Amino acid sequence: MAEDYRGVVGAFPYAFGASDSRLFRSYVVLGGLLTVAVSLLFVAAVIGAIASTTGGRGGSLTLSRSFFAVVGLFVVVPLVAPVLFVARRHRRARERDDPADGRYDAALAAAGYLFVVALYVGLVISVPPGQQTTPTGVLAPLIAALYALPQLAGLMPPLVAAAGILLAHRLLR
């Protein structure tokens, strides 16, 4: 019990040290950095929303402020979930003196990376038409196809990828 990770922040170094999967260890680093970056971005957005709506009455302004926080949670939780799941699994395996399976770690890392890619794809889909640039290069047809989708469709890739993280956890635990 001396090696307990004590919360979300401590789960990152614990999971990094407990796992033998290089893929998972790389996800711990990338997922941690992205979680910090996304968290700072959403905190800045909430501060900006509060600053731009000060002096106004409640109602829809209060709702828009809360919306930033909820969206931030829906982005941060799937980024952190693979690390928390693996840390919990390794902690319980050590308590039972039962070695943890490396396939679980690798599968959750792959699901986490897929969520990161899906998050990027969702952001590309949701770019407002006035801010879209003409795509060039090898991926130009793909980017053009993503731009052509309705902006609301940008929610689907991250939602499906987040469900994939849960599915990987359920199937391999």
In a domain, 162, yes or no: yes
In a domain, 3, yes or no: no
In a domain, 36, yes or no: yes
Number of domains in the chain: 1
Whether residue 58 is predicted with pLDDT greater than 60 in this model: the reply is no
In a domain, 69, yes or no: yes
Give the structural domain span for 152: 8-172
Overall average pLDDT of the 146-151 stretch: 94
Q: Which of 57-61, 67-71, 116-120, 167-171 has the lowest mean pLDDT?
A: 57-61
In a domain, 99, yes or no: yes
Residue type at 165? I
In a domain, 2, yes or no: no
**For helices 102-125 and 60-95, angle between their N-to-C axes, nearest 10 degrees:** 160
In a domain, 120, yes or no: yes
Of 125, 22, 118, nearest to 79 by C-alpha is: 118
Instruction: Report how far apart, in Å, the C-alpha atoms of 108 and of each of 47, 68, 85, 129 are.
Output: 33, 27, 8, 35
Please give the model's pTM, rounded to 2 decimal places. 0.88
Report how far Cα 82 is from the mean position of its chain's Cα atoms: 9
For residues 23 and 66, the model is more confident at 23
Question: Which residue in the block uniquely carries the two structure tokens 């990338």?
Answer: 30
pLDDT of residue 82: 96
In a domain, 139, yes or no: yes
Copy the structure tokens of residue 123: 């952001």
d(CA 16, CA 92) in angstroms, rounded, equals 16
